[in-house]
Chain A
């Protein structure tokens, strides 16, 4: 007879109570549920419960062809849909050893950076709203609209574009593309000054974000916090620098690093990255070479049997695509290493012994996108 083992049950402290933040909560930005143990207003413990928007994208990929998979990746991190597409295309091109035309690389890089800017704009908007500055939300959305208009003309879609395809892009850029991007850059350089005025220099904002959610470099590395959140902890983790793809090895830009390791430094990294992205676009936009907008591909794409991995820098961190192929037109197994999922893991560590208001600020500064967590 088996002996009954009395497992030590962790009793909640006296006066500790739980609240469910989410699945419907304004500051989780989607259907994420955080089970928060509180003592008064102080967060003692936090357990994220994922899966409310799980769609089984990785499993669905196993029965889809590679061009079809691209349309699914849009739905993961919907704010950097173009970068998600790009990752899959790069992987397919790497596996088939296809050289894509230079024009495609230019277009993809510009689109990636536009994606990054609009993602950071929306993050800025919602971060401001998390901290109670409702006006920020409208400022961010207003300027993001210009990028969506540019996309609408070229890709035919404002949000989930599926513009990339293996070997190139779906169609050539619209004749107005360059002109409109120039207008956007000119306008946004003025508007971003407003962003700095309304939030960055504000006393209340600095109080709310400085020293809140301290993430040391060691912790950032051990938790695998990539993207602007990792670079806010002085961890140089920009895939665009470490493993350049497309045009990133040929353009000049700085990897933004901040050393304060708090929410404010994560905020400043993203603000600076918008400038850097504009800088990259400026270097490329006037020099798009003539040529084909896609390489010639076979009608049915079959990857040679083997394992493939491709990393790209999405707007919120390192996006990894891993494919095991058995030589068929569909992958045998597909796995996405999504930045939001890994970044979520540090939320408990950061928000312990902080207040509820700080938890909201920290969650905002990590820039989580919930469909990216659940896939």
Chain B
């Protein structure tokens, strides 16, 4: 076995082969599933904790504050301390609430983001499932989260929560269209839905640059609509703390609240990963065709670092939106989607199809 930081394929195949040589194929498959599940759980927790810390630091930076700086160096253990506090908090049960739905809702939200994570390629060969319909799968699975939000709002027996859930339903269902269509634009360019192939095709240039103007429009639309889909500011109408106190998760306490909180950040990580993979080349280094020396230098940076860097950049963009813009109103939100983004998207796909037919892309 050779462990190579630039290509994990040999590492993962070695694990697979050694497991198969030790036990029966069924048992090996189950063991692999368990390993992947545990790895993802750990990854989920670490990324969630780090993102909460990052958001607090970024927001503090934008607001002339210091941010967390007491627990550990630069306050990096602050979120862990918060998490322990939330674990120990009492779970408040609401009178006359629908107990079953109330308890299930946070899990649905968290499972939706968890499932979508499995299709993301983190580096070469570091890929849990390489679907041939990867993008479709991610879109389908990540939109399950809205069910959890609707259930949370409905079962809380609280009018504020219900209003938040209604808003969230309208919002996510609408913006799902734009997310889908902007990704479809890139699928037209790539000719495949498989994440690994999409990344491979960007080895000589990211789709953002390859696809001319349509790809750029699709990227902007994807950023806007994915921000809306993750319920983040300026589209955080479902929470809207100045209007609805906390919207759909008003009545949740302790670890259940933490689940919603974590799911929000994981969704943000997820859409940032998709944006990075589909538009910015995923783990593929930045290459300019013809510049051999430059490309070799870029190749020295491990793919995993590229992936994390691109994702972090998109996440930072989304945080920047949130801490700069005021919130939209529900009718303006829907106007933006149905009257602007959707028509732009539809025209954009035609434009992209035309471009691909004429072979005008790079």
* Contact A17–B65 (Cβ < 8 Å): no
How many Å lie between the Cα of A138 and that of B67 in the bound state?
13
| Chain B window 52-90, contacts with chain A (Cβ cutoff 8 Å), 1 for yes, 0 for no | 000000010011110000000000000000000000000
Is there a chain A Cβ closer than 8 Å to B212's Cβ? no
Chain B residues near A27: list those with CB within 8 A.
242-243
Inter-chain contact count A-B, CB under 8 Å?
82
* Residue of A whose beta carbon sits closest to that of B335: A207
Is there a chain B Cβ closer than 8 Å to A302's Cβ? no
Q: Contacts A26-B242, A360-B242 hold; do A132 and B327 have CB atoms under 8 A apart?
A: yes
Chain A residues near B234: list those with CB within 8 A.
132, 204
B interface size (C-beta, 8 A) = 30
| Chain A window 116-134, contacts with chain B (Cβ cutoff 8 Å), 1 for yes, 0 for no | 0000000000001111111
* Contact B326–A199 (Cβ < 8 Å): yes
Which of A25, A204, A358 contacts B325, CB < 8 Å? Answer: A204
* Residue of B whose beta carbon sits closest to that of A133: B326
How many Å lie between the Cα of A131 and that of B330 in the bound state?
13
How many Å lie between the Cα of A135 and that of B234 in the bound state?
12
How many Å lie between the Cα of A205 and that of B59 in the bound state?
20
How many Å lie between the Cα of A8 and that of B85 in the bound state?
55
* Contact B240–A357 (Cβ < 8 Å): yes
Which of B62, B159, B332 contacts A207, CB < 8 Å? Answer: B332
Chain A residues near B64: list those with CB within 8 A.
138-139, 142
Is there a chain A Cβ closer than 8 Å to B241's Cβ? yes
Kindly provide the distance from the CB of A232 to the nearest chain B CB, expressed in whole angstroms.
19
Kindly provide the distance from the CB of B4 to the nearest chain A CB, expressed in whole angstroms.
45
Kindly provide the distance from the CB of A363 to the nearest chain B CB, expressed in whole angstroms.
10
* Contact B240–A132 (Cβ < 8 Å): yes
* Contact A355–B330 (Cβ < 8 Å): yes
How many Å lie between the Cα of A130 and that of B245 in the bound state?
11
* Residue of A whose beta carbon sits closest to that of B244: A356
Which of B59, B62, B166, B330 contacts A357, CB < 8 Å? Answer: B330
Secondary structure of the A side of the interface?
Answer: helix
Chain B residues near A204: list those with CB within 8 A.
234, 325-328, 332
Is there a chain B Cβ closer than 8 Å to A41's Cβ? yes
* Residue of B whose beta carbon sits closest to that of A354: B329
Is there a chain B Cβ closer than 8 Å to A202's Cβ? yes
* Contact B323–A134 (Cβ < 8 Å): yes
* Contact A202–B160 (Cβ < 8 Å): no
How many Å lie between the Cα of A76 and that of B207 in the bound state?
61
| Chain A window 172-209, contacts with chain B (Cβ cutoff 8 Å), 1 for yes, 0 for no | 00000000000000000000000000110010110110
Q: Contacts A138-B63, A138-B65, A204-B234 hold; do A41 and B163 have CB atoms under 8 A apart?
A: yes
* Contact B65–A132 (Cβ < 8 Å): no
* Contact A133–B325 (Cβ < 8 Å): yes
Kindly provide the distance from the CB of A365 to the nearest chain B CB, expressed in whole angstroms.
13
* Contact B323–A132 (Cβ < 8 Å): no
How many Å lie between the Cα of A202 and that of B234 in the bound state?
12
Is there a chain B Cβ closer than 8 Å to A19's Cβ? yes
A interface size (C-beta, 8 A) = 31
* Contact A130–B329 (Cβ < 8 Å): no
In the complex, chain A residues 324-349 whose Cβ is within 8 Å of any chain B Cβ:
none
Kindly provide the distance from the CB of A58 to the nearest chain B CB, expressed in whole angstroms.
32
How many Å lie between the Cα of A19 and that of B324 in the bound state?
30
* Contact B160–A19 (Cβ < 8 Å): yes
* Contact B240–A202 (Cβ < 8 Å): no
Which of A17, A129, A130, A358 contacts B159, CB < 8 Å? Answer: A17
Kindly provide the distance from the CB of A122 to the nearest chain B CB, expressed in whole angstroms.
15
Q: Contacts A132-B233, A132-B234, A138-B63 hold; do A356 and B243 have CB atoms under 8 A apart?
A: yes
Is there a chain A Cβ closer than 8 Å to B331's Cβ? yes
* Contact B242–A132 (Cβ < 8 Å): yes
* Contact B323–A26 (Cβ < 8 Å): no
* Residue of B whose beta carbon sits closest to that of A131: B326
Chain A residues near B243: list those with CB within 8 A.
27, 356-357, 360
Shortest beta-carbon contacts, A-B, top 7: A132-B327, A138-B63, A131-B326, A133-B326, A357-B329, A27-B242, A132-B326
Given contacts A135-B59, A204-B327, 14 further A-B contacts (CB under 8 A): A128-B326, A132-B234, A132-B240, A132-B325, A138-B63, A142-B64, A198-B324, A202-B326, A204-B328, A205-B326, A355-B330, A355-B331, A357-B240, A357-B330
27 contacts between A and B (CB under 8 A): A19-B160, A26-B242, A26-B245, A41-B330, A130-B242, A131-B242, A132-B233, A133-B325, A133-B327, A134-B233, A135-B59, A137-B63, A138-B64, A138-B65, A142-B64, A199-B326, A202-B325, A202-B326, A204-B234, A207-B328, A207-B332, A208-B329, A208-B332, A355-B329, A357-B237, A357-B327, A360-B243
